[in-house]
Amino acid sequence: MLTSALDAYGWSDRLQADFEPYAAQGLVPGRIVVQQRGGYRIVTPDGEIEARASGALMRASADSERPAAGDWVAVEARPGETTALVHAVLPRRTAFIRKASGTRGGAQVVAANADVAFLVASLNADLNLRRLERYLATAYESGADPVVVLTKADIADDAAAQVAEVEAIAVTAPVLAISSKTGEGLDAVAAHLAPGRTAVLLGSSGAGKSTLVNALAGEERMATREIREDDARGRHTTTHRELVLLPSGGLILDTPGMRELGLWNADEGVSATFEDVEALAAACRFADCRHKGEPGCAVRAAIASGELPAERLAAYEKLQAELAYEHRREDPAAAKENRRLWASRHKASRAWIKHKRRGPDGA
């Protein structure tokens, strides 16, 4: 095993085994603690160093396979040089992945090797249940344990009612209402941060992520800024991803705010987030029920009785449609089959309309 410099950041026997092939090449292990556009800061057995990815690694890897905050990497220290070189990324235990913005698309790793994902939202006018469902789906897909953290409880008009609304969509994920200003709920957050355990903070700008890091660290580690009063939204204050070692021994990774979160191969995550909807769907009379008025539809019955909000079903269907679209983009055969299916449906629809206009006697 290596020195305690890495032990504090979560080094383990499994990582030691994964690193052995690189040790034979004279490389040293490290963990990325800061990710910026121009490079990385990495903690190694000999302390922190500045680094960049090698050209070979960047050329050979897809965007989602390139180094990211929280990754364990194999580094060439290069004594006498200003920056070290990252030659490889060790296998990840978890990865929070979103669809990259812009027309090029692709996958972007926001954070790697997190044990828990704190999904941060503010108890103000910007609280958005549909956005939280997206975060939950991506967090479940990542392999990390999601925890919803609702900040600014001290200034909320009706925190209990808002917490109840979030609990209704969080299903099995814990929901914590906190105030970084008064300290309310911080012990509940800290309970998820045992020594060597890594949490990632995810949420929109102005949600209070950096303020929470500072409260847990007991000092100003991250820059903060007040939210705008007119729409309760914040400006981007965190412009990089940084892994902070807390006095308790836990680790917390702050990330820039994300208002848009495109799903990336999150089928299992969506199923976990909407397990209530899928459980109802399994009770429908027909296995291919589309919940559009078919007889014996358990989903529609639940909506009619008030058991399931109609907005919840609409959100589920929207995310499923988004995933299906991305799958078709990746799979030309699936796209062709989808076009064939819809052409068949349109043809049947036109025939039915024509029949209705002509009447039952064919006139």
Q: Is residue 268 in a domain? A: no
Q: Is residue 96 in a domain? A: no
The verdict on 70 and 134 lying in the same domain is no
β pairing state of 72-76 and 47-53: unpaired
The verdict on 120 and 240 lying in the same domain is yes
How far is the C-alpha of 171 from the C-alpha of 275, rounded, in Å? 8
The verdict on 216 and 156 lying in the same domain is yes
How far is the C-alpha of 121 from the C-alpha of 202, rounded, in Å? 9
The verdict on 215 and 181 lying in the same domain is yes
- Domain residues for the domain of 345 are 274-357
Look at residue 345 in the predicted model and tell me its pLDDT.
45
Domain closes at, from 89, 122, 155:
89
How far is the C-alpha of 100 from the C-alpha of 67, rounded, in Å? 15
The verdict on 184 and 280 lying in the same domain is no
| DSSP line for 244-306 | EE-TTS-EEEE----S--B--S-HHHHHHHTHHHHHHHTTSSSTT--SSS-TT-HHHHHHHHT
CA atoms within 13 A on the CB side of 111: 30
The verdict on 243 and 116 lying in the same domain is yes
pLDDT digits (tens, 9 = 90+) for 238-259: 567 899 999 999 999 998 877 6
The verdict on 237 and 289 lying in the same domain is no
The one-character DSSP state at 64 is G
Q: Is residue 259 in a domain? A: no
Token pair for 217: 């660290």
The verdict on 45 and 112 lying in the same domain is no
Total number of domains constituting the chain = 3
The verdict on 85 and 141 lying in the same domain is no
Domain closes at, from 254, 287, 302:
254
The CATH number of the domain holding residue 55 is 2.40.50.140
Look at residue 300 in the predicted model and tell me its pLDDT.
96
Q: Is residue 351 in a domain? A: yes
Residue 23: CB atoms within 10 Å: 13
pLDDT in tens, the chain (363 residues): 445 689 999 999 999 999 999 999 999 999 999 998 879 999 999 889 999 999 999 998 888 899 999 999 999 988 877 789 999 999 999 999 988 765 456 788 999 999 999 999 999 877 899 999 999 999 999 999 999 999 999 998 899 999 999 999 998 999 999 999 999 999 999 999 999 999 999 998 888 898 999 999 887 666 555 544 444 454 545 567 899 999 999 999 998 877 668 888 899 999 999 999 999 999 999 999 999 989 999 999 999 999 999 999 999 999 999 999 888 877 555 445 544 544 554 455 455 445 545 655 555
Domain closes at, from 89, 115, 130:
89
Look at residue 274 in the predicted model and tell me its pLDDT.
96
Q: Is residue 8 in a domain? A: yes
How far is the C-alpha of 32 from the C-alpha of 76, rounded, in Å? 14
The verdict on 179 and 283 lying in the same domain is no
The verdict on 111 and 250 lying in the same domain is yes
